[in-house]
C-alpha cells in the first residue's frame, strides 16, 4: 500500500507544535513524498523516511529509491539504494544522491545516465535545474560496452535550455584506447552521432593486401563531410574527399552524395580498359548524385560520373562498382502543373569509353489525360524538342557524325466506356508529327506524320471464399481474374528510315514492348505496327494483417501478341510472356519470368527466384538466369544466424558455359558489443579477369555512431 504523510502538511503541523519555526522563504509547492510502506517521521532529526519504491517529486527533479529521507529543517532529501533521477529528458541511475529543495541542487556519485540516444558514465554529479556537471565523465553514442567508441573528459555539462551536452577538452577513444583530442564538443539531443565509419580490408590477387577507410563527420544536421583513404599493396594509396548533405524544410529539400578519389596506380602495366586501350597510371573518379525540391512544383535531379577509365571503380571500390557499372550523366528539371509536366533534360558524355545518346538538351511538355467538358472524351498530348548527338565508343566522331535536331508533337483522344460494372472498352485515336531539321543524306529536313487507331479493353471478375488457415496466414480468399486486350494500328511507321539519323533506337526488354504511339521513345527506329495483344492477369489474395491492404498469395500473368503486319522480322506471333509469383506464407516467396517462342515452342529466357526464410533467423535464395545461346547461370545465397553475435553466409554461382562454379563465397559475420559489425569473407572466383582467384575480405561497420 502506497502511503503519504498527509501530503507532508501534517508533519509540518506536528513539528510546529513542538517548536515554532519561521515559514520557508520559497513560494514553490512543497515536495511530494510517497512510498509503498507507511512513511515514518523522526521527531529528533526532523526527518521523513520513506521505504520501498520511495518517490520524491519536485518541479525540477523526480527522485525514486529504495529509501528516501527528507529533512524538514535543511530541506535536503537523501536517496539511497537503486536511485533513479528524472531530469528533463535525462534518466540518471546511481547508488546514492542528495537533493537540496531550497537550492534546487542535486548531488550524486558513480552515476550512469541515458539522454535520448546518448549514454553517460561519471564519478560525481553536481548541478541544478539549468545544468548538471559530471566529473570524470565518459560519453557513449551507443549502449556502453568494452569496444564502444566514446568521448572521455574531466568534466561534462548537461544543459537544459536548449537541451544538449557540452564537453571541453575531450579525448575520442576506441574502448579504452585514445585516438585523438578534441578541444571542445557539443551534442544536441536530436543531433546525429559525430562520426560514421566504414572499414574494409583483405587480400586480392590483383591488389595484394589492402585496407579501405571511409569516415564521415556527421555532427552537423545538414552537411556530412568525409574522407576516404585506401592503401593497396600492389597499387599504392588512393584518397579523396566525400560529402553527404540533406537539407529539408517545407517546400525546399536538397539532398545528395559526392565521392571523389585519385590514385597513382603502380600496377597498370598490361592493364587495358573496355576498349582495349592501355590504362594510364593517373586514375580517378568523381561521382555526384543530387535530388532537390525547389518548390512544391519544381524538382531537380542531377547525376555526374566522371571516371578516368572504365575499370577504375571495379579495380578498387567493388561496392561502388556493384551499384553502378555503366556511368550515366544527366540533369533534369521538372515543373508539375495541375494537368501537365514541363521538363528540361540534358544527358551529356563525360567519359570516352562507352557510347551515349547525348541530349543537349531535351525540352518536353506532357499533358496528362484531361476530360473535355463532360463529354467523357479524354485528350492528352506532348510536345518536345531535342538536340541529339551520337559518338562511337572511342569518343571520336564516327565516319559520319550522327546528330539531330528533332521536333515532336503528339495528340491523342480516348473514350473509356463501361457497358457494365465489370468491363471497360477504351477506343483510342492519335497522331504524331516528327520533324528532323537535318538528315543523314544531306537533304535539308524531313517531316514524318504518323497516326494510330486502336483500343484497350479489360474485364474484371472475382470470386470470394470464406476460407481460413492459420499455418499459412490465410484469412479469406479472393480470386481476381482480369482478361485484357490491346490493339494498335500504326501504318507506314518506317517512312524516312533511310534519311533519319538512328540515335533513339529500339532497346530490347524482357517485358512486352510498348504498343501505344504516344508512349514510344524509339522515334528514330520505328516499324509499322498492326498488333493485337491478348493477356490474362490473375491474382489470389487474402486479407492483410491489422487492416492492411490485401496480400497476394499467387499471381500469374500471360501476354501474347498477334502481328498482322507483313514485316517478316516481326513474325505472326510474338514471344509469349509469363510472369508469376507465389507467396503462400511469409517464409516462402517465388517469382518467375519466362519468355518463349510460341511458334516453335523454344525457351528464350527464364528468370526465377525462390526464397525460404525464417524471420531474421535464416534465409536461402535460389536463383536461375537463362538466356538462349547467351547465358545460363544458377546461384544460391544463404544466411544463418547462430546467435545474437554470430552469423554464417555464403554464395555459390554455377555457370554452364564455363562448366563449373564461377564463384564460391564463405562468410562469417560477428557483432562486437553494440558498436561494431565485422564481416569475414573467403571467396574463389573464375571466369572473370577482374576478380579471379582466391581473395579474403574483412568489412567493419560502426553501428550507431
pLDDT in tens, 644-685: 899 999 999 999 988 889 999 999 999 887 788 899 999 998
In this predicted structure, the answer to whether residue 307 has a pLDDT above a threshold of 80 is: yes
Q: Tell me the CB-side half-sphere exposure of residue 296, using CA atoms within 13 A.
A: 4
- The Cα 38–Cα 693 span in angstroms is 77
- The DSSP string of 369-412 is EEE-TTSS-EEEEEEEEEEEEE--TTSS--SS-EEEEEEEEEEE
Q: What is the pLDDT of residues 243-301, one digit of tens each?
A: 999 998 877 899 999 999 999 999 888 788 888 889 999 999 999 999 999 888 999 99
- The Cα 382–Cα 377 span in angstroms is 17
For residues 359 and 374, the answer to whether their CB atoms sit within 8 Å is no
Q: What pLDDT shows up at residue 393?
A: 58
In this predicted structure, the answer to whether residue 417 has a pLDDT above a threshold of 90 is: yes
Sign of CA dihedral 173, 177, 182, 183: positive
* 3-state helix/strand/coil string of 483-538: EEEEEEEECCCCCCCCCCCCCCCCCCCCCCCCCCHHHCCCCCCCCCEEEEEEEEEE
* Mean pLDDT of the 625-647 span: 92
Bond from prior residue into 141 cis (ω within 30 degrees of 0) = no
Nearest to 170 by CA among 189, 191, 149: 149
For residues 163 and 188, the answer to whether their CB atoms sit within 8 Å is yes
Nearest to 418 by CA among 379, 456, 371: 456
For residues 124 and 97, the answer to whether their CB atoms sit within 8 Å is no
Nearest to 108 by CA among 88, 89, 86: 86
* Pair type for strands 602-614 and 208-217: unpaired
For residues 593 and 627, the answer to whether their CB atoms sit within 8 Å is no
For residue 359, is it left (φ>0), alpha (ψ between -120 and 50) or beta?
A: beta
Q: What pLDDT shows up at residue 53?
A: 86
3-state secondary structure of 316: helix
Using only C-alpha atoms, the chain has a radius of gyration, in whole angstroms, of: 35
- The Cα 341–Cα 382 span in angstroms is 9
Q: What pLDDT shows up at residue 690?
A: 59
Give buried/exposed letters for 240-258 (b at 16+ CB in 10 A, else e). bebbbeeeeeeeeebebeb
Q: What pLDDT shows up at residue 400?
A: 56
In this predicted structure, the answer to whether residue 19 has a pLDDT above a threshold of 50 is: no
Nearest to 312 by CA among 348, 276, 355, 273: 273
- Please indicate whether residue 689 or residue 241 has the higher confidence score (pLDDT): 241
- The Cα 693–Cα 698 span in angstroms is 17
Q: How many other C-beta atoms can be found within 10 angstroms of the C-beta atom of residue 190?
A: 11
Whole-structure pTM value = 0.79
Q: How many other C-beta atoms can be found within 10 angstroms of the C-beta atom of residue 80?
A: 16
- The Cα 554–Cα 591 span in angstroms is 10
3-state secondary structure of 17: helix
Domains with residue ranges and CATH for the chain: 1-97 (2.60.450.10), 116-191 (no CATH)
Cα-to-chain-centroid distance, residue 659: 37
The pLDDT confidence band at residue 392, using thresholds 50, 70 and 90, is: low
Amino acid at each position: 500500500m502506497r502511503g503519504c504523510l498527509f501530503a507532508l502538511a501534517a508533519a509540518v503541523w506536528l513539528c510546529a507544535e513542538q517548536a515554532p519555526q519561521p515559514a520557508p522563504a520559497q513560494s514553490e509547492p512543497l515536495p511530494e513524498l510517497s512510498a509503498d510502506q507507511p512513511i515514518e517521521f523522526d521527531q529528533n532529526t526532523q526527518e521523513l523516511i520513506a521505504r520501498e519504491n520511495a518517490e520524491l517529486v519536485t518541479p525540477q527533479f523526480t527522485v525514486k529509491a529504495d529509501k528516501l529521507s527528507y529533512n524538514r529543517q535543511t530541506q535536503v532529501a537523501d536517496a539511497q539504494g537503486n536511485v533513479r533521477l528524472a531530469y528533463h529528458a535525462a534518466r540518471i541511475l546511481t547508488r546514492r544522491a542528495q537533493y537540496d529543495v531550497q537550492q534546487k541542487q542535486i548531488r550524486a556519485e558513480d552515476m550512469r545516465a541515458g539522454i535520448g540516444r546518448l549514454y553517460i558514465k561519471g564519478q560525481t554529479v553536481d548541478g541544478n535545474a539549468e545544468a548538471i556537471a559530471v566529473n570524470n565523465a565518459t560519453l557513449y553514442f551507443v549502449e556502453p560496452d568494452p569496444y564502444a567508441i566514446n568521448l572521455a573528459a574531466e568534466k561534462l555539462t548537461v544543459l537544459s535550455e536548449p537541451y544538449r551536452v557540452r564537453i571541453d577538452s575531450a579525448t575520442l577513444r576506441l574502448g579504452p584506447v585514445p585516438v585523438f583530442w578534441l578541444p571542445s564538443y557539443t551534442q544536441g539531443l536530436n543531433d546525429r552521432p559525430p562520426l560514421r565509419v566504414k572499414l574494409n580490408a583483405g587480400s586480392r590477387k590483383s591488389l595484394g593486401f589492402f585496407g579501405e577507410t571511409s569516415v564521415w563527420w556527421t555532427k552537423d544536421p545538414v552537411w556530412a563531410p568525409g574522407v576516404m583513404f585506401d592503401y593497396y599493396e600492389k597499387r599504392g594509396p588512393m584518397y579523396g574527399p566525400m560529402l553527404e548533405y540533406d537539407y529539408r524544410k517545407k517546400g525546399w529539400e536538397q539532398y545528395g552524395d559526392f565521392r571523389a578519389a585519385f590514385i597513382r596506380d603502380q600496377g597498370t602495366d598490361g592493364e587495358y580498359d573496355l576498349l582495349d586501350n592501355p590504362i594510364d597510371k593517373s586514375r580517378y573518379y568523381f561521382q555526384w548524385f543530387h535530388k532537390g525540391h525547389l518548390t512544391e512544383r519544381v524538382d531537380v535531379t542531377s547525376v555526374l560520373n566522371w571516371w578516368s577509365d572504365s575499370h577504375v571503380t571495379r579495380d578498387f571500390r567493388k561496392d561502388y562498382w556493384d551499384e553502378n557499372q555503366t556511368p550515366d550523366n544527366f540533369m533534369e528539371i521538372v515543373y508539375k502543373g495541375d494537368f501537365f509536366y514541363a521538363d528540361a533534360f540534358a544527358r551529356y558524355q563525360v567519359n570516352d569509353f562507352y557510347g551515349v545518346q547525348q541530349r543537349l538538351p531535351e525540352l518536353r511538355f506532357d499533358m496528362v489525360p484531361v476530360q473535355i467538358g463532360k463529354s467523357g472524351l479524354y485528350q492528352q498530348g506532348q510536345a518536345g524538342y531535342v538536340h541529339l548527338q551520337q559518338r562511337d565508343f572511342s569518343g571520336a566522331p564516327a565516319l559520319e557524325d550522327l546528330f539531330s535536331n528533332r521536333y515532336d508533337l503528339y495528340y491523342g483522344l480516348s473514350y473509356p466506356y463501361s457497358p457494365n460494372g465489370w468491363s471497360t472498352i477504351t477506343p483510342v485515336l492519335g497522331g504524331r508529327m516528327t520533324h528532323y531539321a537535318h538528315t543523314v543524306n544531306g537533304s535539308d529536313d524531313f517531316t514524318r506524320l504518323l497516326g494510330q487507331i486502336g483500343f484497350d479493353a479489360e474485364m474484371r471478375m472475382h470470386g470470394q471464399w470464406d476460407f481460413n488457415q492459420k499455418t499459412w496466414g490465410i484469412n479469406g480468399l479472393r480470386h481476381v481474374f482480369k482478361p485484357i486486350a490491346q490493339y494498335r494500328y500504326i501504318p507506314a511507321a518506317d517512312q524516312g528510315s533511310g534519311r533519319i539519323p538512328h540515335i533513339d533506337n529500339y532497346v530490347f526488354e524482357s517485358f512486352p514492348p510498348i504498343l501505344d504511339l504516344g508512349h514510344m521513345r524509339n522515334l528514330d527506329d520505328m516499324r509499322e505496327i498492326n498488333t493485337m495483344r491478348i493477356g490474362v492477369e490473375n491474382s489470389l489474395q487474402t486479407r492483410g494483417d491489422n487492416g492492411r491492404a490485401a496480400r497476394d498469395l499467387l499471381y500469374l500473368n500471360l501476354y501474347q501478341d498477334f502481328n498482322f503486319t507483313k514485316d517478316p522480322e516481326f513474325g505472326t506471333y510474338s514471344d509469349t510472356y509469363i510472369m508469376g509469383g507465389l507467396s503462400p506464407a511469409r517464409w516462402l516467396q517465388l517469382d518467375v519470368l519466362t519468355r518463349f517462342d510460341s511458334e516453335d515452342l523454344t525457351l528464350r529466357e527464364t528468370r526465377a527466384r525462390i526464397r525460404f526464410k525464417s524471420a531474421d533467423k535464416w534465409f536461402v535464395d535460389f536463383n536461375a538466369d537463362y538466356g538462349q545461346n547467351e547465358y545460363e547461370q544458377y546461384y544460391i545465397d544463404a544466411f544463418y544466424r547462430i546467435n545474437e553475435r554470430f552469423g554464417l553466409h555464403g554464395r555459390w554461382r554455377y555457370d554452364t558455359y564455363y562448366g563449373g562454379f564461377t564463384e564460391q563465397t564463405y562468410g562469417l559475420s560477428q557483432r562486437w558489443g553494440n558498436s561494431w559489425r565485422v564481416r569475414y569473407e573467403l571467396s574463389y572466383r573464375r571466369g572473370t579477369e577482374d576478380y579471379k582467384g582466391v581473395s579474403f575480405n574483412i568489412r567493419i561497420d560502426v553501428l550507431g555512431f
